[in-house]
Structure 1
Amino acid sequence: MKDIVIALAKAAISAALNQPADFNLEDALKTYPALKEKGAAFVTLNTKTHGQLRGCIGSLQAHRPLYEDIIHNAQAAALYDPRFLPLSTEELDQIKLEVSILSEPHIVQYSDIEDLKNKVIPFQDGVVLKLDGRQATYLPQVWEQLPHFDDFFSSLCLKANLGHDCLSHHPEISTYRVKVYQEE
């Protein structure tokens, strides 16, 4: 599945940049029928040389066939991530793709921050934080950069444009798991 998911994302980006893409979607869907099922995916682009983030867009809820979600999010990560300029054709060979297929997010029932610390599993759980109409998520891979609970959640609060201590306001927290496919 890894090769097909990465190839699909790469072909989607190539097509969006008006570059030739050697990918047969019809064959892929016959060989991997799971791609036709509803699914949610995040597509992350990193630079090959320094591993710096170059784009990341995804879906938290499965609302369309997985292959469509991968195509849409790959193109959006390359061209429409507001944190970056659109990817150029020259940069196409300088990026490394990662596709994360998400499980269904589940709301975590917790009484306080200590209880939440016992229920969120670092390096395994992706986290969605919602409060006052704002929302942000971090994939489980983000634990690698922010391995401490307090740093992880402080940063996630800031990503949602809330104060770094937004956990004190008891936001809604959901967790999910991912299956990660990385380009070699």
Structure 2
Amino acid sequence: MLDPVLLQIAKTAILERFHTFYKIDKEALYKAYPFLEEQGATFVTLKYDHHLRGCIGSLVAHRTLLEDVISNACSAAFQDPRFHPLHERELSNIFVEVSVLSVPQLLEYDDFEDLLQKVVPDIDGLILNHKGQQGTFLPQVWEELKSPKEFLEHLCMKAGLSPIIFEEHPSIYRYRVEAIEDSFDAIEAL
């Protein structure tokens, strides 16, 4: 189970942009929560009234968990190219979710039918990579795309590819996540 401090970090990172009262004391956090110094890959997802409002993350660990959450929270709120930057008046309707990813593993498969059998709905996050084009869906996307076929076809489109790409046997990586979610109503100072 994820430590709720990850949510507090994400929310505080966003709130720092609006108020000087909110500050992240990295040294104090590293001292109180040593696991934050470990390298980690995270996604931060924002939802406004249960609709996607921003989602940015890392697929591979390349910085500390603390730095990754801070960076991805700010990017999801203010730099997701699909949305305008978050405005303070939206906060009362925003839910924040922090997902920590496992290390992606190459999924071996023979053909598309075999791949459909190997994908685990509601659990697997997938990365599709083919000739420099890439897309990913977190396991949370299974809430909207229920079947493996639908999940994989939409993942192709997200990567800018046609579903016929499976004839060329693109690389598919599987990962799992632990996620924690909360609203901005419950804000505690770090």
| Count of aligned pairs | 182
Determine the structure 2 residue equivalent to 1:166.
165
Q: Report the CA distance between 1:92 and its aligned residue.
A: 2.2
Amino acid corresponding to residue 98 of structure 1 in structure 2 = E
RMSD, matched Cα: 1.5
Determine the structure 1 residue equivalent to 2:32.
31
Q: How does 1:3-152 map to 2 (within 5 A)?
A: 3-18=4-19, 20-21=21-22, 23-47=24-48, 50-152=49-151
TM-score, length-normalised on structure 2?
Answer: 0.90
Q: Deviations over 1:62-107 (max 9, x none)?
A: 0000000000000000011010001011112221000000010011
Cα distance in 2, alignment partners of residues 111 and 17 from structure 1: 51
Cα distance in 2, alignment partners of residues 40 and 117 from structure 1: 26
Q: Report the CA distance between 1:24 and its aligned residue.
A: 4.3
Q: Deviations over 1:33-54 (max 9, x none)?
A: 111100000000001xx30000
SS in 1 for 2:172: strand
SS in 2 for 1:99: strand
Task: Note closer, same or farther for the CA distance 1:17–1:170 as it changes in structure 2 (3 Å cut).
Answer: farther
- Stretches of structure 1 that go unaligned for 5 or more consecutive residues are none
* Farther-moved stretch of structure 1 (63-72 vs 90-99): 90-99
TM-score, length-normalised on structure 1?
Answer: 0.93
Cα distance in 2, alignment partners of residues 68 and 11 from structure 1: 13
Q: Report the CA distance between 1:7 and its aligned residue.
A: 0.4
SS in 1 for 2:163: coil
SS in 2 for 1:2: coil
SS in 2 for 1:74: helix
Q: Report the CA distance between 1:167 and its aligned residue.
A: 2.1
Cα distance in 2, alignment partners of residues 20 and 53 from structure 1: 28
Task: Note closer, same or farther for the CA distance 1:150–1:19 as it changes in structure 2 (3 Å cut).
Answer: farther
Runs of 4+ in structure 1 deviating by more than 4 angstroms, as ranges, are none
Q: Deviations over 1:87-135 (max 9, x none)?
A: 0111122210000000100111111012212222111110000112100
Whether the aligned pair in 1 keeps the contact of 2:46 and 2:95 (CA below 8 Å) is yes
Whether the aligned pair in 2 keeps the contact of 1:44 and 1:57 (CA below 8 Å) is yes
Higher relative contact order, chain-length normalized (CA < 8 Å, sep 6+): 2
Identical columns (%): 46
SS in 2 for 1:183: strand
Whether the aligned pair in 1 keeps the contact of 2:13 and 2:24 (CA below 8 Å) is no
Whether the aligned pair in 1 keeps the contact of 2:116 and 2:149 (CA below 8 Å) is no
- Stretches of structure 2 that go unaligned for 5 or more consecutive residues are 184-190
